[in-house]
Chain A
Amino acid sequence: MPTIRVVNLKKYFGKVKAVDNISFEVKDGEFVALLGPSGCGKTTTLLMLAGIYKPTGGEIWFDDQLMNNVPPKYREIGMVFQNYALYPHMTVYENIAFPLRAKKMEENEIKKRVHDVAKKLMIENLLDRKPGQISGGQQQRVALARALIKQPKVLLFDEPLSNLDAKLRMMMRAEIKKLQEDLGITSVYVTHDQAEAMTMASRIVVFSRGKIMQYGTPDEVYRKPKNIFVATFIGNPAMNLIRNLDYIKEKGKAFLVSENLRLELPEDVAKKIEESKNSGKFILGFRPEDAKIDQKESDMGFWAYVYVLEPLGRDLIINLKVIGTEELIKIFAEDEVNIKKDEKVFVKLQHGKIHIFDSETEELII
Chain B
Amino acid sequence: MKGKGKVWIFLTPMVVLVVIFFAIPVVLTAILSFTNMDYTFRWDFIGLGNFKDIAIDFVIPKVLLNTLIYTFTTLALFNVGCALLISLLTTSMPDRWGSFFRTLWMLPRLTPSVVYGILWLWIFDPTEHGLVNFIRAQMGMPPQDWLHQAPMVMIIVANGFIGASMGMLIFTAAIKAIPTDYYRAALIDGASWWMITRKITLPLIKWQLLFVTAYQTLSLLTSFEYILIITNGGPTFRTEVWALYTYHMAFSNYRFGYGAALSVILVIIGIVFAWLYLKMFKFEDLMQKPKVEVD
Binding site for B on A (CB under 8 A): 47, 50-52, 71-73, 75, 77-79, 81-83, 85, 87-90, 98-99, 101-103, 129-130, 132-135, 137-138, 146, 150
Contact = CB atoms under 8 A, between A and B. Distances in A.
Given A71-B187, A89-B203, 12 more contacts: A52-B188, A72-B190, A73-B190, A78-B188, A79-B188, A81-B181, A83-B179, A85-B182, A98-B189, A99-B190, A101-B195, A103-B190
Q: Which 3 A-B pairs have the closest CB atoms?
A: A73-B190, A99-B189, A85-B181
Interface in B220-258: none
Contacts of B269: none
Nearest to A130: B289
B110 interface: no
Given A89-B204, A135-B294, A81 B185 contact: yes
14 contacts: A50-B184, A71-B187, A73-B189, A81-B181, A81-B184, A82-B181, A83-B179, A85-B179, A85-B184, A88-B204, A99-B190, A129-B292, A132-B291, A146-B189
B284 interface: no
Contacts of A85: 179, 181-182, 184-185
B284 to A, nearest CB: 15
Contacts of B200: 87
A149 B35 CA distance: 71
Interface residues of B, number: 25
Given A132-B288, A132-B289, A133-B292, A73 B182 contact: no
Interface string B260-287: 0000000000000000000000000000
Given A85-B179, A85-B181, A102 B292 contact: no
Interface string B110-145: 000000000000000000000000000000000000
Contacts of A51: 187-188
Contacts of B289: 130, 132-133
Interface in B147-195: 179, 181-182, 184-192, 195
Nearest to A125: B294
A159 B295 CA distance: 22
A130 B290 CA distance: 11
A186 to B, nearest CB: 15
B181 A73 contact: no
Contacts, number: 78
Contacts of A133: 289, 291-292
Given A89-B203, A132-B289, A132-B291, A73 B179 contact: no
Contacts of A135: 293-295
B294 A79 contact: no
A83 B195 CA distance: 22
B62 interface: no
Contacts of A77: 188
B182 A87 contact: yes
B278 to A, nearest CB: 18
A20 B173 CA distance: 34
Instruction: Kindly name the residue among A51, A72, A101 whose own CB sees the greatest number of chain B CB atoms within 10 A.
Output: A72
B255 to A, nearest CB: 51
B199 interface: yes
A81 B191 CA distance: 17
A282 to B, nearest CB: 46
Contacts of B204: 87-89
Interface string B185-221: 1111111100100011001101000000000000000
A72 B185 CA distance: 10
Contact of B192 (A78, A99, A102, A129): A102
Interface in B51-68: none
B277 to A, nearest CB: 19
A257 B182 CA distance: 57
Contacts of B192: 102
A189 to B, nearest CB: 16
Contact of B188 (A73, A82, A88, A134): A73
A98 B186 contact: yes
B154 to A, nearest CB: 40
Nearest to B206: A89
A86 to B, nearest CB: 8
A103 B192 CA distance: 10
A101 B190 CA distance: 9
A102 B189 contact: yes
A278 to B, nearest CB: 46
A132 B286 CA distance: 13
B188 A72 contact: yes
Nearest to B189: A99
B187 A73 contact: yes
Nearest to B202: A89
A85 B288 CA distance: 18
A98 B188 contact: no
A89 B179 CA distance: 13
A137 B184 contact: no
Nearest to B288: A132
B99 to A, nearest CB: 18
Contacts of A146: 185, 189
Contacts of B293: 135
A33 B38 CA distance: 83
B287 to A, nearest CB: 12
A69 to B, nearest CB: 15
A140 B187 CA distance: 19
